[in-house]
């Protein structure tokens, strides 16, 4: 009887660490897959935006043909963002340039009341705003998963399993929005 108790205790002492390693490894794999899935959602929304931009540029070109510099900047920024397949940080840089060029494009639109009233332009603008909202939601979801994954691989004792199996920290996808960081200009002049 005492042998059986000793054997059971030995099995439990061996089994608990093995179970902990397996559970921790599986949690790390799950979190990494969540990060990959969330990134693919961002990628899908970015592609949707890339598909909308040429249509938007064509509509604006019809009304504001001589604004070639702005239109060319948007087209080039879109091409660069489409081709960007690097890390989230490098892709975010290209997205920042695209967002800035789109803001410039919408600034040009302000000078063309007929364009602002065009149903085709309004529809494309609405779809682009909707897509931007979806990109932000997907980015928050991705960054939340990256936060959870990075926390787990940096926390003790799960960091031991992460280092043994080669799990490395993921990059956040952060788009710099300089306009949101600036104080709004308030003027009562007309």
pLDDT confidence bin for 177, thresholds 50/70/90: low
Looking at residue 168, its pLDDT comes to 95
Task: Please check the confidence at residue 70 and state whether its pLDDT lies above 90.
Answer: no
Examine residue 36 and state whether it is found in any structural domain, yes or no.
yes
Examine residue 97 and state whether it is found in any structural domain, yes or no.
yes
Q: Highest mean pLDDT range out of 66-70, 94-98, 141-145?
A: 141-145
User: Quick check: 128 and 52 in contact, CB under 8 A?
Assistant: yes
- Which domain CATH number covers 71? 1.20.1440.20
Looking at residue 66, its pLDDT comes to 61
> Between helices 68-83 and 88-109, what is the axis angle to 10°?
160
* Pairwise pLDDT comparison (185 vs 94), residue with the higher score: 94
Distance CA 5, CA 180 (A): 66
Examine residue 178 and state whether it is found in any structural domain, yes or no.
no
How many domains does the chain fold into? Answer: 1
Q: What is the mean pLDDT of residues 67-95?
A: 86
Q: What is the mean pLDDT of residues 5-30?
A: 93
Looking at residue 183, its pLDDT comes to 43
Examine residue 174 and state whether it is found in any structural domain, yes or no.
no
Examine residue 184 and state whether it is found in any structural domain, yes or no.
no
User: In which domain, by residue range, is 140 found?
Assistant: 2-169
Examine residue 175 and state whether it is found in any structural domain, yes or no.
no
User: Quick check: 115 and 64 in contact, CB under 8 A?
Assistant: yes
> Between helices 2-63 and 119-154, what is the axis angle to 10°?
160
Examine residue 161 and state whether it is found in any structural domain, yes or no.
yes
Quote the tokens at residue 43.
């990628």
């Amino acid at each position: 009887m005492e042998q059986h108790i000793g054997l059971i205790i030995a099995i439990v002492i061996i089994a608990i660490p093995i179970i902990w390693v397996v559970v921790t490894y599986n949690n790390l794999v799950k979190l990494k897959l969540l990060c990959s899935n969330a990134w693919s959602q961002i990628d899908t929304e970015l592609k949707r935006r890339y598909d909308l931009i040429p249509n938007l540029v064509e509509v604006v070109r019809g009304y504001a043909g001589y604004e070639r510099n702005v239109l060319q900047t948007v087209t080039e920024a879109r091409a660069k963002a489409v081709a960007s397949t690097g890390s989230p940080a490098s892709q975010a840089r290209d997205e920042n340039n695209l967002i800035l060029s789109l803001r410039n494009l919408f600034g040009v639109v302000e000078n063309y009341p007929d364009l602002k009233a065009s149903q085709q332009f309004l529809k494309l603008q609405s779809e682009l705003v909707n897509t931007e909202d979806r990109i932000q939601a997907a980015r928050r979801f991705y960054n939340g998963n990256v936060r959870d994954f990075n926390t787990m691989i940096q926390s003790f004792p799960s960091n031991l399993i992460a280092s043994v199996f080669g799990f490395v920290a993921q990059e956040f996808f952060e788009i710099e929005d300089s306009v949101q960081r600036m104080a709004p200009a308030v003027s009562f002049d007309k």
